[in-house]
A and B are shown apart, each in its own frame.
Chain A
Amino acid sequence: MVTRRKSRALVWVVVAAVVSLMVVTVGSGGAGASYKAKQYPRAATLITSGTQWGNIAGMNPFTHNWAPGMVGLVNETLLRYDPLKGTYIPWLAKSAKWTGAKQYTVLIRPNVFWSDGKLFKGGDVAFNVNLQRFSTGQWNNLWQNIQQPIVVKGNGLIIFNFKTTPNYVQWRNMIWNMPMISPVQGKSITTAQQLTTYNPHIPIGTGPYKLDVHGFDVTTRVVWQKRAHWWAADQGVAPSPAPQYIIDLVNTSNTNSLSAVLAGVEDLNNNYLPGVNKLVDAKKVHTYFDKAPYMLSANTAWLEPNTTRVPLNDPVFRKALAMSINLDKIVRDDYQNLVLKANSTGLLPSWNGYVSKAAVKQFGFTYNPAAAKALLLKNGYKLDSSGMIANKDGSKIDLDISVPQGWSDWEAARDMIVASAKDAGIRMHAQVKDFNTWLADIQTGKYDTVIHNPYQIADDPWTYWNGIFHLPVITTGTGQTFANYERYTNQTAWNLTQKLDKTPPSNTKAIKALNVQLQTILMKDLPLIPLWYNGIWAQMTSKYWTNWPSSSGLQTIPCMWGGYLQMTGIDTITHVKSTRAATSAK
């Protein structure tokens, strides 16, 4: 029998539960929204995750903080780049090329319309490039070299004339990375500060999707809704994407991502999921390759020595350190073959065409701890009383190595490096640092060695060389925030890097020669020790969508990360097929 007091308590329990649910419902945006449908149709909705950590900051394409998918799905670029084929894909531009030593000409496609119905014109391109006049513009240094006014002829021809020899590589990189924003919205940007705070409520773009503003929840997801018309589909340039909606979910942890993939919640996940190879082998998920290395390569992880510290300022010591690292073991035991071992140049597989096999054979390093120890002893290093390598003056060597705390794959690799270095007589010890401390120490040079992977795949190895050889080393203000964290000073290498940037793309012979020179310097001096290629982590499930990219099928990049949709990520979106459509077709 239920007593009065007990039933009163029960009422309170029910009331508390209902109130809580109402609080959550209202808080999640439920109140005020009115819809006919109760669910986005799952069979027509592509669910992705693995890009956004923490709240979605908004729709600013200039701060690298935009809602996942915005650049590519809404705001498109003039060109795209296919790193698997090494080719540029004409996109909003029908053609974009150098028409003189100091002239670049863009011809945009006709009949491309912004989502507000206005025609996309040549003047819009000039407007977007001129936004870089602000000192906070990412490509401001390139804008400064453009003669004003930018020549616009008719509705579609834009001619850029340069004051001095252009930075060919950087310019081309900008052309396929700069998103076109609508001048209707962009005209509100009138100061350098406003370029960083620009945040349209609903971005106007030329792409195949638009923001579904009612579905957008900064804490949880962004919802993109397919537009009725998209120029690329209308003009037969690309298939019309099958997903009516794309929902990108905010990440909380890799463990949660794994659960979501296993439960079929997500169709495409771009997180690193340790041991995902077992799920691939069990046919539960797809990856680009169905066996090792499973993933395409995104960036090079390297051991970054602080070249201003003894004995890491000695190329011989760095070479011995490189020879002491058992990369095969790291790839096999730590990554379970989810990554590829880097070659001695560290150049990504998509840049294989630039690798000189002869130079690698002559200057590359291989794992051989005994030879590493012998090399050090031959070059004046001594043995201390415990049989470990000491400095030439007999002082003790004990190098620290750090990775961000909690990055378990890197922590395991760190421990393996420490263990294998010991075999070569090199004493190292792990230093535990949280991410911020780790990064701050790299930027300010307070470290011996770190594992680091700052540069993503790009259209040209120049970004890689610039990252290694950039001078001068900045010791105040920003510190080293984008390049040469190892503080390596080699004026010749830096001159060659600058020369590469200023070499016309048509001069392929010179470009090849410069790349060989730069990789030779890298392998001889080893300011960085290439370790492995981190993957473009991508796990795909076939419950709702098929025709995913694979090495034997559609060769595009299955990735929503910033910068990847304007490679061939958008082709992945336009080629996936609904399983429901496939079933009904049968």
Chain B
Amino acid sequence: MRRYLLRKLGIYALTFVAAVTIDWMIPHLMPGNPVRALMARIQIQDPQVAQHVYANYMRSFNLDLPLWKQYLYFWASLLHGDLGTSIMQFPSPVSSIILHALPYTLGLLVPAILLSWYVGNKLGAMAARRKVLDNTLLPIGYVMTATPYMWFAIVLVYVFAVTLSWAPVGLAYSPTAVRGFDTTFIGDVAHHWVLPFLSLFLVSCGGWAIGMRNLIIYELESDYAHYLEALGAPQRLVRKYAFRNAMLPQVTGLALAIGAIIAGALVTEIVFSYPGLGYQIYRAITNEDYFVIQGIFLFIIVGVLLANFVVDIVYVVVDPRTRIGMEGGGQA
């Protein structure tokens, strides 16, 4: 077990270095110069002053240095926990931007992913053995999954917020809400949370259900299931084993979904004006804000690696084949 973990940790460390390097490289390969864009916004009328201000900003962001030096500075800052300063939101530190936005994304995405995963898998498993469900829930699941999310979310806003006024049109809380850790404010936050949560939950749920339904059917048609049936094992036992085996790819899928949480948040946060990390990364990319892009992608990298590491551990627990293979039992 120790060797297995050390090997995995080594692989993750290497992956981290490579991913962070790419994370640094990609924004720098984008066309354009963010400081020039900043200058265009400031609109200084005198060319000499403009040159001074430009030089000052270039120096502030180390963008006047050769790329290799910028790369080394990046690692040095990173190891000191400094993610840099935002260019477009100058002089806000990137870490502060992430910390402000993170709770919104986590609060919305984590329950949506976990609950849709749980409910979707349950529904899919049930649909695999009940014709009525298979003919009713699954088609709905197909429709939900195939629906362009952006369109679906906008329809939800239009129907429930603009037309019926059952839900707010956007934001994480009412514009006039006085923030406080009390029931009124929590209720207000919940009111704003429901619609974006539902939009994510419904769409994801359909996907998980379809996946699980197909996996269960596949497992039920496999040799071991037929063998068990031939031995006279009860249907319930066969389905239990089929469910356990079908869960394995779904666990991997869950890990990837949690790791890629930011990508999932992007459209939701834009449509519902939810001020999380997805919206921040969208703004950062459109404004070429190198350091915010790097900071948020770093967060994604760490998220994906951690989620995968957890799945590796979980696999050891839930999949006997992995456990046996790790102990050398699988070797010929």
Contact = CB atoms under 8 A, between A and B. Distances in A.
Contacts of A253: 270-271, 273
Given A25-B189, A436-B288, A196 B169 contact: no
B330 to A, nearest CB: 33
Interface residues of B, number: 86
Most B CB within 10 A of own CB, among A19, A25, A34: A25
A80 interface: no
Given A27-B107, A39-B178, A55-B280, A259 B161 contact: yes
Nearest to B176: A40
A235 interface: no
Contacts of A256: 169-170, 271, 273
Contacts of B283: 53-55
Contacts of B175: 47, 221, 247, 249, 265-266
B181 A196 contact: no
Contacts of B154: 255
Contacts of B184: 38
B186 interface: yes
B44 A482 contact: yes
A443 B54 CA distance: 14
Contacts of A45: 176
Contact of A259 (B53, B114, B169, B185): B169
Interface stretch (B95-103, B128-136, B316-324): B95-103
Interface in B106-122: 106-108, 110-111, 114-115, 118
B176 A219 contact: no
Contact of B170 (A215, A260, A477): A260
Interface in A321-375: none
A23 B49 contact: no
Contact of A263 (B52, B92, B165): B165
A187 to B, nearest CB: 18
Contacts of A479: 36
Contact of A38 (B36, B53, B182, B190): B182
A28 B44 contact: no
Given A219-B101, A259-B170, A63 B44 contact: no
A436 B111 CA distance: 36
Contacts of B30: 436
Categorize the interface residue count of chain A: 35 or more
B235 interface: no
Given A25-B185, A58-B91, A30 B180 contact: yes
A253 B102 CA distance: 20
Interface string A538-553: 0000000000000000
B193 interface: yes
B273 A137 contact: no
Contacts of B288: 436
Interface string A36-49: 01111110010100
B295 to A, nearest CB: 13
A437 interface: yes
Main secondary structure, interface of B, reads helix
Contacts of A263: 161-162, 165, 168-169
Given A27-B103, A30-B180, A20 B110 contact: yes
B32 A196 contact: no
Contact of A217 (B32, B47, B50, B179): B179
Contacts of A278: none
Contact of B31 (A22, A25, A136, A437): A437
Interface stretch (B66-74, B82-90, B204-212, B251-259): B82-90
B37 A436 contact: yes
B243 interface: no
B189 A21 contact: yes
B92 A58 contact: yes
B222 interface: no
A391 interface: no
Contacts of B157: 259
B158 to A, nearest CB: 8
10 contacts: A25-B181, A32-B181, A38-B184, A55-B101, A135-B53, A140-B49, A217-B275, A478-B39, A482-B40, A482-B50
Given A30-B180, A55-B86, 8 more contacts: A23-B106, A34-B180, A38-B184, A57-B91, A138-B44, A247-B175, A436-B287, A482-B44
